[in-house]
Structure 1
């Protein structure tokens, strides 16, 4: 009868656990409740009961049994008493007491058991929710209500959950959400270039629900690892989001793996026991505590027909990268591959035979060597494999070499070393001399070498370079030097988790190594960086206790400790530094590089030394006694607790803003976009609820965290407004401090970068992410007491009537390009503003508030709305030079205004009352007069132009329209055509036709007019009118259809003169016949006067008069 008939593998260990289908009362009997499982369950339950933490992740390698623990928690909270009792039977008394005192199970918890896969997390979670409603006896009606719903977005899923969980508060004890294969959900999100809003919002919502809710996500690596293909920045963001969850590490120990193996191998007869000496031989060879040996004894007795050493090796082996923990262990036990355990059972009859280490080597070499070679163990495996394959020795000797190789590779975590006693236990050789003979054969073949410091044998590959001697020599040279410590490139941060959960602000402490206090640059360490606010300084040399107290008092953001394991750190640091010096040596380094064996040995030593160094440094930081702010500790503290205590003290007035999307110094591109939308909404919809943000986009969560929950944006009963009445004490301190600074510098421009720096420093520590939001909200609460400025291209700051879109965009990107001014008014200034406000109300026809901006804005707007030529004219009052100067100065101060305070209080008074003699009413009269002149200037100019046109073309109505159409049709001059077309619109009541006509005559648009080209245009109207009449006359003479009334009575007049140079000058104009009743008396009077002159004098007078008249007409 083979061993396959005597032993079998328990069914429960033949496949992995499914949380959505394996839950039953039959699942729990035989479940091994080992220390790792107990620690994970109790940590979750204890934190939920004591800290109210609702969101957890359970992180452990593939196949480590995480789903089994998730199902155990599910059973403990199940409404079915049979399942509940079966799950409770697994626990020990200690865990039962903790669960009973922390979790209420009367009606049972609603259990959402979701398994991640190829579908979107929204779908898998919602489908699991519906299954949970269907399963629980108290939620059937709600299933009918919610079964027709299907969330289309992450925010909608959160919204549905929030509504549902509140509805079931009274019919269940709580809600348990299990996210199995959560890594697949994260892979789905990463593959589709998504963000982790679902998991971020989930953690936030769970904390504010009245219904008890627990979320447990099962992972095999951290959030950030799933995003490693998308860059370090996104990895950091995902890591921060995981910070919202309490992560529980789940890593089964070697001895727990032995226990699991013992439970999974089931003998056909319960009375079957291991009668061999293998277990005792292994325990005798094992250098460990009596307690562990006693604990291992019964477990190892129950792993037969596995050799005890194989059972011990399988634990560390399963944790290698090429393996999958428990899943690999039980996969190995069930495997039928070549050299497998199952084939051993089927082919072995001897009941005392054991599946030994050399059998395990054969199995790994045959079935897993390709995976091992691509893993970090590949190098060591390749060396061992080469040594085994090249040596020509008897099979028994070769089996011992395979045992040595496996113990070298994987035995260290189980505290197994290839000592002679251990090899005797592995091989079952009773005579030690026989074992020594086998070892001698292997040693002579240069396959193994004896390591004295471990008293054990290791695989050997020869080299011409004696690296141990070189290393020892270098270390001796460093024994009295601190160089090694100085050259450690150690960089590690400790996050202030408690402070983060309390305030929402992520801060960390930099860990620093130093030989002694004298070598510290304390001033440099006090310089804070973004997020980094303090230092843990670990000293290698003893320091005077009082000196540490004094230093920590003077530098409260630095904590000091003398390393409890300074000797270990120094030793490993010396080894690492010595190895680097050896490699840097031109001769020795080059020799190592060209010696394959030496290079492998060097790399291995350096890697091991670095690992030990980092491990010892970490141990030093966690096991040393720290002196903080003058107080020496008498026990060790978790570094995160110390970091939080420092952060709470340094940033004692840090406001509470629980939003990881925005409350950080470097926010993601998505967060920048959301913050931009929020700032724009703060400008446009500040009187609307939620700033008119619909749904639950990222900016909505920012609004809730930064503005609504802080009471900065409140409902006053009729509308929403900005307020500081009911804000938290930390915000009151922040704003009070800022207001005091602004008032102290009232009337001066304050750069917003200055406020940003003030807020970022202790005791507030406002992050860059929330600064623009909080600052804009704060400025909004100050109302009209603040004037806004923006840097222009010239480099000067220019006044803004109010913040606009560009302003808030710069507030995000470059606060240094923005400024504000706090305005304080004297009593007489207030009275002057009251007078101005009354005038502005009359000017605009609207009620005007008595503040600088409300008054200055319409006045400035009035000036900027003046036509371009009026804004640049130099002569607006012809007959009063002083008044003209006053009007121009008043216009210019408004056009150039960049400071409402200076404009209304200083500059306006300087213009209206330079000698300070006028009453306020008289000054208002002067202002009204000047503005009236400015506003009337354009109309006055148009009126003058209109008169000029009428002088030459007085016709109107249909006659004028017919004339214009005729000229437009007949003229070949494009500008004359345009002149005629615009003149034809003169019957319109608006002045637009005249402005268009002037534009035609001036040859430029209205925005380019100035006094000079308007004067020219007025003169050119004569020319255009003459051409107009001439074309029309010619047209009317050729057109027999025109009536007598439409034929103009015009004549062409020419005057030819000889000038002083002897050249002839021709003056020619088209004139209309005048009114004889007017002309006749003047002609008689003129003739009478001319009769007094000689004939030549008479002609000369008439010549001069005619010449002057023709020249005056252009």
Structure 2
């Protein structure tokens, strides 16, 4: 049993690959089943002993009969030994062979592997080199030095290729997922002469100019071919024979042989690679040891990507970052947009986003402290650019300038940077592209899905991180006349948007400032037709604004010149700026003016004299006094809003939205007409409700009165109904006192005369209620 343990620990792979592999596999399977039965240790040791004797029986001449087993276990009585052997036989772990009078391992498998492999070899006409490459597990050749210098992992695939196909393989090669070339070990499969194979290797190495093909030939290639045929045949057996699914022993033996053949083939391939002559168009023919191939790969990678940025970050400097790396990247992008101007972009400590910031923005100097504070700074073309970012930056700028007549999708910059000689990995693209945009924002117009963006915000960044095609860029140029107009337009922005200081006098900033003023307008202003024709014309230009250059230097000048000719003098500029400023002012003031008109009308209907603190307090008291009085839910809502109204526009929007049955964002002109009528109607209902507060025992804030006067033979008497509120009581009392004093000074005691005089005076006011009365010089009322 100890011999079995030794063999299994040290030599099992070799035994399985030998002619005794089938017998060993059956014994190993039997022992595993015995362990699964939870038998005692003696049963396991006895089974190991039988397995070892059975394994060496042809060489030793020994068989596992009872006498031999008794000799092996002298301390075990015959009865116990017979019982153990009987247990093994009943469990189908061993079998008693009567003609040998001996015990042997039960043959649980009758699959003939050698025969099956022989049949498979006969069926293989040509080697499947793609399947062979996957079976041998050839490791790619890494450009290690290039990786340590740039942080970008690049490698060459290693393929075994038949000589007859090497030209086609070299022609069809395309780089993908970090693979930048191929090492082809060429094998003569059709009896090609050695010199002919070498010539093919030389021609294949020169064939592809876009990528590097390194072709090699080794004299040991034939040994590789023979092993490859056997390996493919055994793999075919493991796939094509369904009976293996129910034969654990056979499966184990097949797997062991596959493993052994793969190891042998890998050893032969290593020898072939070490002894091969390698051909490349830029290098002389040379023997490279396998360890030297990494150095060659680095040389080729550096030649192809000699302007690759040096960014050492394991999380993002790769083709497909992990989900956790993407989460850190997205967090960093948000900080880049929302926290610019703060040290370390407002990042505390070193979470994932902190590490990305330190390696990609801080170490490279893309985000650094300037005289204007912390800003994104473009890399300079000097020795300070130790991370070699300037070439990629400059290439992106030149590409956008070259295509300044159209917008350039950020995905185009991705393709440019990913290509030679930059070779930037996909994982770095979002961070570098946002940094690029922020360093060049003064010269770039930014669009999202073709629509101009006044500000590059976090939503734009999120869209770009998901799909770079959604964000487009365009370069902006200026002449002297354009710069002069920009200066005057900047003053318009500063006058109408106090929060925008417009420090940078660039087209993009001026255009953003103007468009931002328009974007802040309420939706009603963007829809209403109750504006002057010039204001509507200005509004339409802003509504169509897509491109800052076209907007500033084509669309706006068209306000005074319908012909598409350039502006040429100061007078044209003055007229253009005047029109834009007046139009924007009217647009900015239109909504507040409309609200104030509606509010003044409502206050007049409610008989509120002004928006003084005292008047509003009285209105609040009146509203509180009539709450839930009329049983009208709509009126109650109106009264509730009046009780909270402080005279501001936001408060009145709530009242007007109730009258219009729409929120302010959805208002159109007919809604405001309907709201005017509804506000007047609800104000009248409010006044009427005030005259009936006594019904619920509330103090009367309003008194209803009527005056009826019949005189001078009129067929219909004069009738005037009106009401007064508590706030009028002081003025009424003062007037009553003055009239009383006047009447007391009159020399008459006739009540009829006094009442007649009051009636005639009332009639005068009733006949001309809108005419202001005043005293003339002779004391008569006029």
What is the TM-score when the length of structure 2 is the normalising length? Answer: 0.70
Alignment check: 8 A CA contact 1:551 1:630 kept: no
Partners in 2 of 1:962 and 1:704 — Cα distance?
A: 62
Specify whether residues 837 and 581 from structure 1 end up closer, same or farther in structure 2 by C-alpha distance, changes over 3 A only: closer
User: Residue in 1 aligned with 2:520?
Assistant: 865
* Structure 1 residue aligned with 2:705: 1049
Q: Over residues 39-84 of structure 1, what are the superposed CA-to-partner deviations in whole Å (9 max), with x where a residue is unaligned?
A: xxxxxxxxxxxxxxxxxxxxxxxxxxxxxxxxxxxxxxxxxxxxxx
Tell me the distance in 1 between the aligned counterparts of 2:371 and 2:597: 57
Residues 894, 385 of structure 1: CA spacing in aligned structure 2 closer, same or farther, 3 A cutoff?
farther
SS in structure 2 opposite 1:488? helix
Q: Do structure 1's residue 679 and structure 2's residue 311 form an aligned pair?
A: no
Distance 2:762 2:643 in 1: 25
**Are 2:629 and 1:970 equivalent residues in the alignment?**
yes
> What do the CA deviations read for 1:541-577 (whole angstroms, capped 9, x no partner)?
2445444334323324211012332111110112223
Moved more, 997-1006 or 620-629: 997-1006
Give the CA deviation at 1:636: 1.9
Return the offset for 1:394. Answer: 13
Aligned to 2:539: 891
Match for residue 539 of structure 1? 186
Pairwise CA distance, 1:718: 6.5
The equivalent of 1:803 in structure 2 is 456
**Counterpart position of 1:573:** 228
Q: How far apart, CA to CA, are the structure 1 residues paired with 2:55 and 2:679?
A: 116
* Alpha-carbon offset, residue 808 of structure 1: 2.7
Query: May I ask how many residue pairs the two structures share in their alignment?
Result: 636
732, 737, 752: which one pairs with 2:390? 732
Q: Which residue of 1 aligns with 2:357?
A: 703
Equivalent position of 1:775 in the other structure? 433
1:608 aligns with 2:260: yes
Superposition pairs of residues 804-883 of structure 1, within 5 angstroms: 804-845=457-498, 847-848=501-502, 849-876=504-531
Deviates more, 1:700-709 or 1:751-760: 700-709
SS at match of 1:662: coil
**Offset from partner CA, 1:114-136 (integer Å, 9 cap, x none):** xxxxxxxxxxxxxxxxxxxxxxx
Contact persistence 1:772–1:811 (CA under 8 A): yes
Distance 1:390 1:320 in 2: 16
Q: 1:667 and 2:285 equivalent?
A: no
Mapped pair 1:954 → 2:598: no
Aligned residue in 1 for 2:94: none
Please state how far the C-alpha of 1:370 moved relative to its aligned partner: 7.1
Report 1:1055-1074 matches (<5 A). Answer: none
- Residue deviations 1:875-897 (CA, integer Å, cap 9, x gap): 22xxxxxxx33312322432453
Work out whether residues 163 and 200 of structure 2, in 8 Å CA contact, stay in contact via their aligned partners in 1: no
**Quick check: 1:482 aligned with 2:123?**
no
Match of 1:714 in 2: 368
**Structure 1 counterpart of 2:554:** 906
SS at match of 1:674: helix
Contact kept, 8 Å, 1:515 with 1:540, in 2: the verdict is yes
User: In the alignment, is the contact (CA less than 8 A) between 1:666 and 1:769 conserved in 2?
Assistant: yes
Question: For the Cα contact (< 8 Å) 2:454–2:513, is it kept in 1?
Answer: no
CA distance in 2, matches of 1:930, 1:640: 69
| Equivalence for 2:216 | 561
Per-residue deviation at 1:661? 2.4
SS in 2 for 1:537: strand
SS at match of 1:1049: strand
Match of 2:593 among 932, 940, 962: 940
The answer to whether the aligner puts 1:526 opposite 2:173 as a matched pair is yes
1:1026-1047 deviation digits (Å, cap 9, x = unpaired): 333333334479989759xx52
- Quote how far apart the aligned CAs of 1:669 are: 2.6
CA distance in structure 1 between the aligned counterparts of 2:268 and 2:707, rounded to whole angstroms? 116
- Is this contact kept in 1: 2:560–2:576, CA < 8 A? yes
Listed one character per residue, the Cα deviations across residues 250-281 of structure 1 (whole Å, up to 9, x for unaligned) are xxxxxxxxxxxxxxxxxxxxxxxxxxxxxxxx
Q: 1:693 to 1:1000 in 2, by over 3 A?
A: closer
8 Å contact from structure 2 (residues 446, 453) kept in 1: yes
Deviation of 1:873 after TM superposition, in Å, equals 0.7
Alignment of 1:742-781 (within 5 A): 742-781=400-439
CA displacement at 1:500 relative to structure 2: 1.1
Equivalences for 1:921-932 in 2 at 5 Å?
Answer: 921-932=574-585
Alignment of 1:1004-1023 (within 5 A): 1004-1023=662-681
Give the direction of change, closer, same or farther, for the CA distance of 1:654–1:1077 in structure 2 (3 Å limit). Answer: same
Q: Which runs of 5+ in 2 are unaligned?
A: 14-26, 37-44, 66-98, 189-193, 610-614, 709-718, 725-760, 772-782
Q: Report the aligned-residue RMSD.
A: 4.6
Give the deviation of 1:528 after TM superposition. Answer: 1.1
1:626 is paired with a residue whose SS is strand
Cα displacement string for residues 289-312 of structure 1 (whole angstroms, at most 9, x for unaligned residues): xxxxxxxxxxxxxxxxxxxxx9xx
SS at match of 2:456: coil
String of CA shifts for 1:977-1015, please: whole Å, max 9, x gaps.
Answer: 3444555677x5534554444333333333332210211
How far, CA to CA, are the matches of 2:605 and 2:114 in structure 1? Answer: 115
Instruction: Return the alpha-carbon distance in structure 2 between the equivalents of residues 498 and 462 of structure 1.
Output: 54
The 1:945–1:316 alpha-carbon spacing in structure 2 relative to 1, beyond 3 Å, is closer
Match of 1:628 in 2: 280
Shift, 1:921, TM fit: 0.9
Aligned counterpart, 2:303: 649
Counterpart residue number, 1:497: 144
Q: Is residue 788 of structure 1 aligned with residue 446 of structure 2?
A: yes
CA distance in 1 between counterparts of 2:358 and 2:330 reads: 15
The answer to whether the 8 A contact 1:494-1:510 is kept is: yes
Q: Give, in whole Å, the separation in 2 of the partners of 1:810 and 1:855.
A: 25
**CA deviation after TM superposition for structure 1 residue 671, in Å:** 1.9
Which residue does the alignment assign to 1:216? none
Gaps of 5+ in 1: 1-309, 322-364, 375-380, 402-443, 448-458, 792-796, 877-883, 1053-1067, 1085-1114
User: Cα offset for 1:503?
Assistant: 1.3
Q: CA deviation at 1:660?
A: 1.6
C-alpha separation in 2, matches of 1:446 and 1:911: 116
Residues 114-133 of structure 1: matches in 2 within 5 Å? none
Instruction: Compute the displacement of 1:525 (Å).
Output: 4.5
8 Å CA contact retained: 1:497, 1:640: yes
- 1:516 Cα deviation (Å)? 1.3
Secondary structure at the residue paired with 1:699?
helix
Q: In structure 2, how many angstroms separate the alpha carbons of the residues matched to 1:553 and 1:545?
A: 13
SS at match of 2:447: strand
Distance in 2, matches of 1:647 and 1:463, equals: 53
- Please report how far the alpha carbon of residue 613 of structure 1 lies from its aligned counterpart in structure 2 after TM superposition: 2.4
CA distance in 2 between counterparts of 1:736 and 1:700 reads 27
> C-alpha distance in 2, partners of 1:511/1:392?
43
SS of aligned partner of 2:145: helix
In the aligned structure 2, how far is the partner of 1:707 from the partner of 1:784?
20
